[in-house]
Amino acid sequence: MSGNYNSYESPFCTRYASEEMQYIFSADKKFTTWRKLWVALARAEHKLGLPVTEEQVKELEEHINDIDYDVAEKREKEVRHDVMAHVYTYGTVCPNAKGIIHLGATSCYVGDNTDIIIMRDALKVVRRKLINVMNNLAKFAYEYKGMACLAYTHLQPAQLTTVGKRATLWLNELLMDFDDLEYRLSTLKLLGSKGTTGTQASFMELFEGDTQKIKQLEKMIAEEMGFDDVVPVSGQTYSRKIDSQVLSVLSGIAQSCSKFSNDMRILQSFKEMEEPREKSQIGSSAMAYKRNPMRCERITSLSRYVMIDVLNPAFTAGTQWFERTLDDSANKRISVAEAFLGVDAILNIMLNVTDGMVVYPKIVYRRMMAELPFMATENIMMDAVKKGGDRQVLHEKIREYSMIAAEEVKIKGNENNLCELIVNDPLFMVTKEELDAVLKPENYTGRSEQQVEEFLRDFINPVLDSNKDILGENFEMKN
């Protein structure tokens, strides 16, 4: 731990989220983006014939980054308005342009457009990390595509699957999240310059009723800020449903990662698989032998937070009155930022865990073979019928022996003796060698291996191939 020990500090900043994501939600990112938006507004107004000079635009451009936060803080205490405090502060270093800063705009021009820009930039970070997690899981799925293992329904042993096929289940859910994220990124729009109630009345005054110039103004601002378009209609703010939609994408990622982490925690309990382990990692202060799935537990924990956090913008969207109310402000400052910081932290851990998952083949095999005789009974019975046996008699014998074997395992604590009982019964007309051939695990995994190959080839590899330039990211756990 490090930092200020006399006041609260968010664990997202001190322990979990990356510096990259923290910067996106920092004051410096916010206020420099305000200034970029003021530059874009002034440039467009200049090109469209308003009394804004090229020299004034250039002066604003030259002073985007030198923000005197002390001046801004002092001014805000005086005027009780953060936007006007920063207009004043910008003007102190741009004396020739101070009179045209924020011309025709309302506070939401910088506030809401910046929020959209920040969410776009944060989604791009999430996208990059998500693709790298998918890449790790794709490699794992391919490597273990043919390794048979127990599958579970109701957390009880069911028919077999493969280790790789199970990994495709995790991967498929992340692919669904990726598709949602791609759609949300591709359709994200700026608020634009809509004015106090969304009617653009102030710009009608500035441009003397020239509607085409007002529309062109928004197009020019959007292009300069890297967007294709602005929202078609709004009140004073962009619809708060956008926050809800974006956080729904983040919640989806949290859900998928939580599913993965819970499966891994159970598999680690079974001793079939483990998350990576650092050489000096301590599992328990009391029990030196323990290997706790601490990273997956953290994924579960943070995912729970993000999944609940999505309710905040949902309620905010549902309680906005008419053209706007201000009950959104305090809530969205916290909920949107922390959802992104939470998912950033989750994906960091996912990058770490999926890059070094450990499989114990002998444990996987042993646990599988303890249950396989029960699953093979249908095949054993059919082979006996083909040799002339009576299906009804054989079925009753299988049922009887299965109960005996279950009692041996559950009550007496012995090995599963179902195969021994069957071999010793002449009704089944089967030798131990013949039974061993029936009990080959690969006979019970269906199309698992082919499904892995087809899924990776048709759905995952196209995504990875089109994003080769960002692959190879990893994350080292520090705490």
Q: What is the DSSP string of 399-436?
A: HHHHHHHHHHHHTS-----HHHHHHT-GGG---HHHHH
- List % helix, strand, coil for the chain (3-state, nearest 5): 65, 5, 30
Residue pair 413/400 in contact by the 8 Å Cβ criterion: no
Query: What are the φ and ψ backbone dihedral angles of 419, each rounded to 5 degrees?
Result: -65, -40
Domain boundaries, the chain: 11-93, 112-197+227-360, 377-438
Q: Would you say residue 289 has pLDDT above 70?
A: no
CATH number of 377-438: 1.10.40.30
Counting residues of the chain whose pLDDT is more than 90, the rounded percentage is: 76
Of the two residues 250 and 290, the one the predictor is more confident about is 250
Residue 190's φ and ψ, nearest 5 degrees, are -70, 160
What fold, for 11-93?
A: Fumarase C; Chain B, domain 1 (1.10.275)
Q: Return the SS3 of 264.
A: helix
Integer Cα distance of 442 and 449 in angstroms: 10
Contact 115, 24 (CB under 8 A): no
pLDDT higher than 80, residue 281: no
pLDDT at 311 over 60: yes
Q: Are 11-93 and 377-438 the same fold in CATH?
A: no
380 and 398 Cβ atoms separated by less than 8 Å: yes
Residue 449 half-sphere exposure toward CB, CA atoms < 13 A? 11
Q: Which long-range contacts (CB under 8 A, 24 or more apart) does 198-202 make?
A: 198/233, 198/234, 198/235, 198/236, 198/323, 202/104, 202/105, 202/106
pLDDT at 136: 98
Lowest mean per-residue pLDDT among 128-132, 356-360, 399-403: 399-403
> pTM score, two decimals?
0.91
Q: Is residue 105's pLDDT more than 50?
A: yes
CB 364 within 8 A of CB 398: no
Architecture of domain 112-197+227-360: Up-down Bundle (1.20)
What's the start-to-end Cα distance of the chain, in Å? 9
Q: Say which residue the tokens 């001793």 belong to.
A: 271
Beta strands in 99-175 (DSSP E): 148-153, 156-162
- The mean pLDDT of 223-228, rounded to a whole number, is 97
DSSP label at 190?
B
d(CA 161, CA 152): 9
Q: List residues with catalytic annotation.
A: 154, 284
Instruction: Supply the mean pLDDT for the chain.
Output: 92
pLDDT in tens, 160-175: 999 999 999 999 999 9
